[in-house]
Amino acid sequence: MNDMAKNFVLWLVIAAVILAVVQGFDKPAQDTLLDYSEFVKEVQGGKVSEVSIDGLTIRGKTVNGEEFRTVRPQVRDDKLMDDLLNNRVAVKAPEPQEASIWRQLLVASFPILIIIAVFMFFMKQMQGGAGGKGGPMSFGKSKARLLGEDQINVTFADVAGVDEAKEEVQEIVEFLQDPAKFQRLGGKIPRGVLMAGQPGTGKTLLARAIAGEAKVPFFSISGSDFVEMFVGVGASRVRDMFEQAKKHSPCIIFIDEIDAVGRHRGGGHGGGNDEREQTLNQLLVEMDGFEGNEGVIVIAATNRPDVLDKALMRPGRFDRQVHVGLPDIRGREQILKVHMRKVPIADQVDPSIIARGTPGFSGADLANLINEAALFAARANRRLVTNEEFEKAKDKILMGAERKNMAMSEKEKINTAYHEAGHAIVGRLVPEHDPVHKVSIIPRGRALGVTVYLPEEDKYSLSKRALESQLSSLFGGRIAEELTLGFDGVTTGASNDIERATQLANNMVTKWGLSEKLGPLHYGEDESGVPGAGNVNYSGHTSKAIDEEVRRIVDSTYARAQKLLEENRDILESMKDALMEYETIDAEQVDDLMARRKVRPPKDWHNNDDSSGSDGAATTEEKVADKKDNSDPIGGPAPASDV
């Protein structure tokens, strides 16, 4: 209940109390109620000493001093006065009194006051309540949420992994704290700062940290909050937002997902598009119009800077772009340490090893990893979060939750074990391939099994040799099925492997110039942006040459993987047996199998304080490729998985 509703209820209670008090003055005394006929008999019998007649109400006393009251019927009774006088009854009448002017005004105006109060209440609600937001009459009011300088407890110490971005915005903090330092030399701070980066990299957190460091008010709003179904509403909200910001100057306006209103103009027609363009036009005017906005800095965030209007990006508006990218291994370690402050972590957990095994993870991904690990520890009633919980959390995030209710036949499990063993063996034997971290035949998500690789370092580019090794490891699962079940026994489990391998080989030829026959040329599709174009910029002869070269790369890497598995058929059988026994084997057990030694039992996480080995921070290449900060990742294919 808002303040207006509380005041309305309070005034109703006060008015009711006043009426009750006023009516209490006329409350009759306690007496006996007599029927009129009985009253007449009492008078005629000489038992009444006095009466007081007030309209139809007659009050009196008997000779015994008892008080009574009766109501005279609305009929004419001329004999009543004769009976009263003949029986020596003292007849009295109250003096006529006029009601107080204040009482008359109160009684007369009370219904009107109630109507006015109800009307004002509903009008205030339609305008958005006491704060003026959210009602149907508040279309033109800004929906920006204001946080005072004492409400923001986020500083640069809480933002890790984006050191370059923090350096870019450091001078904004200095300007807000001491603008004269820049104004003495004629310098002007950028009016707009655009933070671009993938989701979860900390753009919003960094903007809040700027306000927290500078100790200034912080207006926060989403780009979609400007646009409504009525044309002109967004522009009105932009004006109202800047008017409020000027009153709290110096301050920061943060617009999240600005691409909702800042897209290229002229891309369509209709009311919705007109409304968005009017909103964008008003934003452009406010940021670089005739009126100065000294002390008001606009920070916007987006993960689609390529779709923003050019006028929005020119100097004088969003003239500074800060790229908030995915953290590197050192940044991931810092982020993990920040989030681990709130979680009781076991001594053997090493953030640096977890950071090493999470390439491509954003800050939000790492926070989710720690939270999931803490939830696993809580379910097991443990006091500390250990490597085992991090391992489970990583598996859940990258591969999905275990499908415990999925019943696999013995034949299906054996086939899955051969498939994953084929991936692991080829991945261990080919050059420049990420080390195998774990092999599992436990169903997760859509996969019946998975082979996980642990990169030794962040990779931003891959050699032709590394790409060919990834192609061979992708085909390892299908080849293992073919060796053990025959060609007619090969299953559909390798469909995703084949799809990724084909795409990788095609990219090697058409995008990365890794074909000696076709050379370093780009053979891409029409990127004009016209829907349904789908045209290629090369001839049919070239298309045939591309297909032949892709086929050659696939055949050569397939043959190499087949040769490796044929030469190590005994290891394939041993790894299948180990997977059938333990369901999941780690890197140390894989080492035993590759060295043709007896497989050691699984590691006891809670009794093993050795954190130098592999921990629960391993990742899969599938996730690495998806999270690469590149629209066309070259991180290679994902690990083999049965879909």
Task: Tell me which residues are annotated as active site.
Answer: 420
Cβ neighbours for 447, distance < 8 A, ≥ 6 positions apart: 399, 400, 641, 642, 643
Q: How far apart are CA 476 and CA 642, in angstroms?
A: 12
Q: Which helix (H) or strand (E) holds 561?
A: helix 540-567
Considering only CA atoms, which of 52, 38, 47, 36 is closest in space to residue 87?
A: 47
Angle at 379 between CA 378 and CA 384, to 5 degrees: 35
- The token pair at 292 is 């100065």
* Distance from C-alpha of 585 to C-alpha of 438, rounded to nearest angstrom: 6
User: Residue 444's beta-bridge partner residues?
Assistant: 402, 447
Give the three-class secondary structure for 641.
strand
Residue 301 CA to residue 258 CA, distance in Å, equals: 6
Closest CA to 567 of 487, 451, 479: 479
Render 312-368 in DSSP notation, one character per residue. HHSTTSS-EEEE-----HHHHHHHHHHHHTTS-B-TT--HHHHHHT-TT--HHHHHH
The stretches of 127-232 forming alpha helices (DSSP H) are 163-177, 180-183, 203-214
With 0-12 CB in 10 A as exposed, 13-18 as middle and 19+ as buried, what is 398? buried
In contact, 286 and 293? CB cutoff 8 Å: yes
What does DSSP say about strands 436-440 and 584-586: parallel, antiparallel, or unpaired? antiparallel
Q: In whole angstroms, how far apart are CA 276 and each of 100, 225, 231, 467, 576?
A: 62, 11, 8, 45, 60
Residue 125: exposed, middle, or buried by beta-carbon count in 10 A (0-12, 13-18, 19+)? middle
* Tokens linked to 440: 């599992």
Query: DSSP string of 358-418?
Result: -TT--HHHHHHHHHHHHHHHHHTT-SSB-HHHHHHHHHHHHH-SB-TT----HHHHHHHHH
Backbone angles phi, psi at 33, to 5 degrees: -90, 120
CA distance 106 to 110: 6
Q: Where are the beta strands (DSSP E) in 411-544?
A: 436-440, 450-453
CA distance 559 to 475: 9
- Retrieve residue 418's tokens: 């051969």
**233, 238, 239, 243 alpha-carbon torsion, rounded to 10°:** 140
The alpha carbon dihedral of 102, 103, 105, 111 has a sign of positive
Contact 297, 320 (CB under 8 A): no
Residue 504 to residue 133: CA distance in whole angstroms: 52
How many residues are listed for the chain in this entry?
A: 643
